[in-house]
């Protein structure tokens, strides 16, 4: 039974990693696409071409950027919590069976650092996707 529990926990870790990857990649791509769109829309608006309509599009895409990134941050936070619980459970299982010396305690900390870095990358891209087009818009 212990082997089945272990396999299930490892499977959950893999699923968690895949889910986190989907959210990070989707948010990064979204931010980059929105940066390009917003920059083009802001440039047109700054030149006076349908400024009201372009500002509405820019505003909607900014709201969308904020929401998508909030959802991604929430998903990463949930993934981080899940990972922490699973790895802690595995560490306890290994300790109970006398094989914990083969599983470094540092792995949990390293995983948490990765989540922090993912979050920072998304935050920086979101800010750039919002601020750069706004600078372009006000420059005109």
d(CA 81, CA 75): 10
Q: Looking at residue 45, what is its pLDDT?
A: 82
Written as one string, the DSSP assignment of 2-54 is HHHHHHHHHHHHHHHHHHHHHHHHHHHHHHHHHHHHHHHHHHHHHTTSSHHHH
- Express each pLDDT in 79-111 by its tens digit: 999 999 999 999 999 999 999 888 888 877 888
For the record, the structure tokens of 101 come out as 């010396």
Neighbours of 132 (CB within 10 A): 14
What spatial distance separates the first Cα and last Cα of the chain, rounded to whole Å?
A: 68
Residues 108-119, mean pLDDT to the nearest whole number: 89
pLDDT category of residue 140 using cuts at 50, 70 and 90: low
């Amino acid at each position: 039974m212990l082997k089945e529990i272990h396999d299930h926990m490892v499977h959950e870790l893999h699923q968690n990693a895949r889910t986190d990857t989907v959210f990070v990649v989707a948010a990064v791509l979204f931010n980059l696409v929105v940066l390009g769109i917003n920059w083009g829309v802001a440039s047109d608006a700054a030149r006076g071409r349908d400024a009201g309509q372009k500002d509405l599009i820019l505003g909607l895409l900014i709201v969308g950027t904020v929401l998508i990134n909030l959802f991604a941050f929430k998903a990463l936070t949930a993934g981080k919590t899940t990972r922490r619980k699973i790895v802690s459970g595995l560490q306890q299982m290994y300790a109970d069976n006398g094989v914990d010396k083969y599983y470094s305690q540092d792995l949990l900390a390293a995983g948490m650092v990765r989540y922090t870095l993912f979050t920072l990358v998304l935050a920086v891209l979101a800010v750039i996707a919002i601020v750069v087009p706004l600078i372009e818009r006000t420059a005109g």
